[in-house]
Amino acid sequence: MRKDQAQPMNASGVAYFLLLAESIIVLALGLYMVALGFTHDKDWLPYLSVTGFAFAGSAALFALARGVRTRKRWANSPAILANLIALGVAKYQFEAGVYWLAIPITLMGIAVVISLLKNIRISNS
């Protein structure tokens, strides 16, 4: 196959793009929280904690995406753990009846976990 031809995306490529998308989504949520802070009256300490957690989570997901892209083994376990936590969040969204949010979280979490497990299996063989 020539270099200029499109190659099929492997498991690490899928995981990279999904983790990058998660990072962008969490960053957008953090920016939304900042905008919300200027428009609503609220108790500041919990609000700042949630906003800081969103920005830290976005940075962590971005670092994990880069680690997966460069095939660093240290990135696999935290990325799987983050997405298992997201599946727990999706469970509570299902229970609350917020299906429009629960279904995408579930699908993305499962897709990332499966692609990372495939990536681990391929790198160990």
- Number of helices and strands in the chain (H, E): 4, 0
Please provide the size of the chain in residues. Answer: 125
106: tokens are: 């579930």
What average pLDDT is seen over the chain? 88
Question: What is the average per-residue pLDDT within 52-61?
Answer: 96
Q: Is the pLDDT of residue 111 over 90?
A: yes
SS3 category, 103: helix
Which pair of tokens denotes residue 44? 């500041």
How confident is the model at residue 8, as a pLDDT?
54
Answer whether 116's CB lies under 8 Å from 86's CB: no
Return the pLDDT at 106: 96
Whether residue 40 is predicted with pLDDT greater than 60 in this model: the reply is yes
Listed in sequence order, the DSSP H helices in the chain are 11-39, 44-69, 76-95, 99-124
Confidence bin at 102 (pLDDT 50/70/90): very high
pLDDT tens-place string over residues 11-23 = 788 999 999 999 9
pTM: 0.84
- pLDDT-derived band at 3 (thresholds 50, 70, 90) equals low
| Per-residue confidence band for 1, with pLDDT thresholds at 50, 70 and 90 | very low
Q: Per-residue pLDDT averaged across 61-67, rounded?
A: 96
